[in-house]
Amino acid sequence: MPVVFLGIPFGRPNLKEATDRAIESAGKDYDCLIDGVVYAKRKWYFLFGKVGYEVEGTPVKTADIENNK
């Protein structure tokens, strides 16, 4: 998550990274999310803070879907 100091951002939150982390946290066999929700997160500590995204969803194995056809 990029740092913000006195209202000046040093970096940009990256939605793709947040999505990739959500899929990776489900396990190596999962490669897709459905019913995804994106949250903008902010944490402030007096003069500085952090901003970023948090992604939640239901992990899916697309190989299982293709095999059921």
Q: In what order do the strands lie in the sheet with 3-5?
A: 8-10, 3-5, 48-60, 32-45
Dump pLDDT digits (tens) for 1-46.
788 988 888 988 999 999 999 999 998 889 899 999 999 999 998 8
* Structural domain harbouring 15: 3-67
The DSSP output letter for 11 is S
pLDDT over 80 (residue 65): no
d(CA 21, CA 69): 29
Q: Residue 53 above 80 pLDDT?
A: yes
| Prediction pTM value | 0.75
Q: What is the DSSP letter of 32?
A: E
Q: Which has the higher per-residue pLDDT, 56 or 65? A: 56
Position 69 scores a pLDDT of 63
Number of domains forming the structure of the chain: 1
User: What gap in Å lies between CA 43 and CA 35, rounded to an integer?
Assistant: 25
Strands 3-5 and 32-45: unpaired
